[in-house]
Chains A and B, each alone.
Chain A
Amino acid sequence: MGMTITEKIMAKSSGKKRVEPGESIWLNVDVLMTHDVCGPPTIEIWKREFGDKAKIWDKDKLVIFPDHYIFTKNPQANRNVNILREFASEYNVPNYYDVGTDRYKGVCHIALAEEGYNLPGTVLFGTDSHTCTSGAFGMFSTGVGNTDAAFILGTGKIWEKVPESLKFIFEGNMPEYLTAKDLILMILGDITTDGGTYKALEFDGEAIFSMQMDERMTLTNMAIEAGAMNGIIKADEITEKYVRERTDKPYEIFESDPDAKYRETYRYQVNKIEPLVAKPHSPDNRDTVRNVAGRKLTKCYIGSCTGGKLTDFYNAAKIIFGNEVKVPTFVVPGSTYVARQLEVETINGITLKEIFEKAGCVVAQSSCAACLGGPVDTVGRATDGEVVISTTNRNFPGRMGSKKSEVYLASPLTVAASAITGFITDPREFL
């Protein structure tokens, strides 16, 4: 019996020839990532448990990005960043990307890719549920709590249960009106928010391999919305080119055997999928944009690790070009690199940033911002009674700041079309 890509990477990392779904194994971790919300308690547990002997297992493998609650006056939030700062200087952590300096990178999951930490065949853990994003690079990546992260910090090891895999094959060429976001909303509607629990979601098919890395990351990012352990896409030439432009560290490419075992295989023809939304209050509450078109909005939001990447803004700018937004619209680059690219990439000779600004959008600093609500002074935060359409990944009650708001999740094309009408709008009207 063959193995899946996830099983092969886990076998390699645990020093075994083969592993079986359901088996618990100890993995050797290649990278541990943490941020300002979960970093401080992780450090506290690490100090408590390892005492005077507390030693970072491998400084080069620890990566810390402040990104969640950083542009705020909130004292507890600022205290957290200070704890990271002091820790990084006390222990000489080389990969600390401090806010307020030119090392600042933005949202952790995007920065991991851009800074060359995502390497095919490796194992990455992070103190954030969306750590599964890195799986777009043909690697195993998943989120853990603070205790597990503290354990990794001291030992470089962690146990994990080998997941069963579900396979999602997308056939055909992506139509102009569809994005990776629509594909993952399709899956979530089909398998629901616990359909992937303790499982690996493997994405395959020509539509997937025609995508650039940042679109692929939208799929793996939202694997956790199905409760999955990881999402994964095997590395190809596009992956290798992206990685080689950023690092010369070694990596190894794995792929699933033809006779690998899947719990279930789902097949989709992309030209049969329409632009989709997730209605309030769950990412699996799928509907077509057509069915909810006309819903009056109070705010539009383009940002986060899901929907704040360069391709997302390029797609949005295509539609917004030459128009004005009818409701407050926030453009929040997922990383400082993306923010710089907004001033470089053009459509008809006009930079994306200018396109957004001329249309009346607020272009904010890169961070998690209102994706998870955040302190009251967070840019783009939802308030009571608002109806928001957003490119983010979660719309549980209160997620963007108010339990009394309604959040629709959609692709950047759909959000852009909705921004210029003020109502939920099918992007096909503008393409």
Chain B
Amino acid sequence: MEKIIKGRAFVLGDNIDTDQIIPAEHLVYSLSDPEEAKNYGRFALSGVPLNQSGLPKGGIPFVEENQYLTKYQIIIGGSNFGCGSSREHAPFALQVAGAKAIVAESYARIFYRNCVDGGFVVPYETLEKLNDKIETGDQLELDLNENILRNLSKNETYKLRPLGDILPIIEAGNIFEYARQNNMI
């Protein structure tokens, strides 16, 4: 897996729930049919009120209308990211849209597990509040070796909480790969 994730920042506020990440009305698409599943990318983060979408200015959709891929690879959140239902479609939608990682102060447990075990996106926790320091569009570099986030646009570096016990699962790709590599299945 990539140890350095490069991309642009997409900044969100606190308490981004799974309905904002993928509204319930879109849960009808197949997760396994690649053509149909593209719709999850199209509607990723479409439940976020537009003025809260792409901070600090807001008004920036994560995926532009009738597009399936985002221009932003690293999502910067606040606290309690992914709260709400246990729907795995949420981290899946972010992955399908092209997001690679999330950096947030804290996560709701089930969402966090789903990110890791399904191998959808890398969820990093920040030690400090970052969604008021980073701006949507900033060029970022996430370093999994050093557990730091570099903001190339602002020439700043932020320390992240090491991934710890979940790192081997992330490195393997998902929980099934991890288990196969360790002869558990």
Please list the residues of chain A having a beta carbon within 8 angstroms of any beta carbon in chain B. Answer: 23-24, 38, 41, 44, 48-50, 76, 127-129, 143-148, 151, 154-155, 157, 159, 161, 193-194, 197-198, 227, 229, 373, 396-398
Please pick, from A50, A143, A146, the residue contacting B185 in the complex, using a CB distance under 8 A.
A50
Give the residues in chain A near B85, CB-CB below 8 Å: 129
In the complex, per-residue mask of B92-131: 1 if CB is within 8 Å of any chain A CB, else 0? 0000000000000011111001100110000000000000
Please pick, from B19, B108, B164, B184, the residue contacting A197 in the complex, using a CB distance under 8 A.
B108
Flag if B113 contacts A144 (CB, 8 Å): yes
Flag if B86 contacts A194 (CB, 8 Å): no
Given contacts A147-B118, A155-B179, A161-B165, contact A396 B84 (CB under 8 A): yes
Flag if B117 contacts A227 (CB, 8 Å): no
Taken together as a complex, chains A and B put the C-alpha atoms of A91 and B80 apart, in Å, by 39
Please pick, from B32, B87, B174, B175, the residue contacting A44 in the complex, using a CB distance under 8 A.
B32
Give the residues in chain A near B108, CB-CB below 8 Å: 194, 197, 227
B52 at the interface (CB under 8 A from A): no
Instruction: Considering the complex, give the chain A residue whose CB is closest to the CB of B111.
Output: A145
Please pick, from B17, B109, B110, B118, the residue contacting A396 in the complex, using a CB distance under 8 A.
B17
Flag if B175 contacts A197 (CB, 8 Å): no
Give the residues in chain A near B164, CB-CB below 8 Å: 24
**Interface residue count on the B side (C-beta < 8 Å):** 34
Instruction: Considering the complex, give the chain B residue whose CB is closest to the CB of A44.
Output: B32
Give the residues in chain A near B147, CB-CB below 8 Å: none
Give the residues in chain B near A373, CB-CB below 8 Å: 24
Please list the residues of chain B having a beta carbon within 8 angstroms of any beta carbon in chain A. Answer: 15, 17, 19, 24, 28, 31-32, 79-80, 83-88, 106-110, 113-114, 117-118, 164-166, 169, 174-176, 179, 184-185
A-B contact pairs, 14 of them (CB 8 A): A128-B86, A143-B86, A143-B110, A144-B86, A144-B110, A145-B114, A147-B117, A147-B175, A148-B114, A155-B179, A194-B80, A194-B83, A197-B106, A197-B108
> In the complex, which of the residues A24, A48, A146, A157 has the most CB atoms of chain B within 10 Å of its own CB atom?
A146
Give the residues in chain A near B24, CB-CB below 8 Å: 373, 398
Flag if A145 contacts B88 (CB, 8 Å): yes
Flag if B80 contacts A151 (CB, 8 Å): no
Taken together as a complex, chains A and B put the C-alpha atoms of A373 and B27 apart, in Å, by 14
CB distance from A284 to the nearest CB of B (A): 11
Given contacts A144-B86, A157-B184, contact A193 B179 (CB under 8 A): no
Taken together as a complex, chains A and B put the C-alpha atoms of A50 and B24 apart, in Å, by 29
Given contacts A144-B110, A147-B174, contact A396 B86 (CB under 8 A): no
Please pick, from A38, A76, A161, A397, the residue contacting B86 in the complex, using a CB distance under 8 A.
A38
Given contacts A194-B15, A194-B108, A229-B109, contact A145 B118 (CB under 8 A): yes
Taken together as a complex, chains A and B put the C-alpha atoms of A144 and B115 apart, in Å, by 12
Given contacts A146-B88, A151-B175, 4 further A-B contacts (CB under 8 A): A147-B88, A148-B113, A148-B114, A229-B109
Flag if A155 contacts B88 (CB, 8 Å): no
Instruction: Considering the complex, give the chain B residue whose CB is closest to the CB of A155.
Output: B185
Given contacts A161-B165, A194-B15, contact A76 B28 (CB under 8 A): yes
Taken together as a complex, chains A and B put the C-alpha atoms of A44 and B92 apart, in Å, by 15
Give the residues in chain A near B83, CB-CB below 8 Å: 193-194, 227
The 4 closest A-B pairs by CB, nearest first: A24-B165, A194-B80, A145-B114, A145-B88
CB distance from B33 to the nearest CB of A (A): 11
Give the residues in chain B near A198, CB-CB below 8 Å: 109
Flag if B118 contacts A197 (CB, 8 Å): no
Give the residues in chain B near A155, CB-CB below 8 Å: 179, 184-185
Instruction: Considering the complex, give the chain B residue whose CB is closest to the CB of A46.
Output: B176
CB distance from A158 to the nearest CB of B (A): 9
Flag if B80 contacts A193 (CB, 8 Å): yes
CB distance from B26 to the nearest CB of A (A): 12
Taken together as a complex, chains A and B put the C-alpha atoms of A363 and B78 apart, in Å, by 43
Flag if B176 contacts A145 (CB, 8 Å): no
CB distance from A228 to the nearest CB of B (A): 8
Flag if B86 contacts A129 (CB, 8 Å): yes
CB distance from A373 to the nearest CB of B (A): 8
Give the residues in chain B near A396, CB-CB below 8 Å: 17, 19, 84
Taken together as a complex, chains A and B put the C-alpha atoms of A398 and B19 apart, in Å, by 9
Give the residues in chain B near A143, CB-CB below 8 Å: 86, 110
Given contacts A197-B80, A227-B80, contact A145 B28 (CB under 8 A): no
Please pick, from B15, B113, B166, the residue contacting A145 in the complex, using a CB distance under 8 A.
B113
Give the residues in chain A near B15, CB-CB below 8 Å: 193-194
Give the residues in chain A near B110, CB-CB below 8 Å: 129, 143-145
Taken together as a complex, chains A and B put the C-alpha atoms of A112 and B109 apart, in Å, by 23
Taken together as a complex, chains A and B put the C-alpha atoms of A76 and B29 apart, in Å, by 10
Instruction: Considering the complex, give the chain A residue whose CB is closest to the CB of B79.
Output: A194
Flag if A197 contacts B109 (CB, 8 Å): yes
CB distance from B34 to the nearest CB of A (A): 13
Instruction: Considering the complex, give the chain B residue whose CB is closest to the CB of A128.
Output: B86
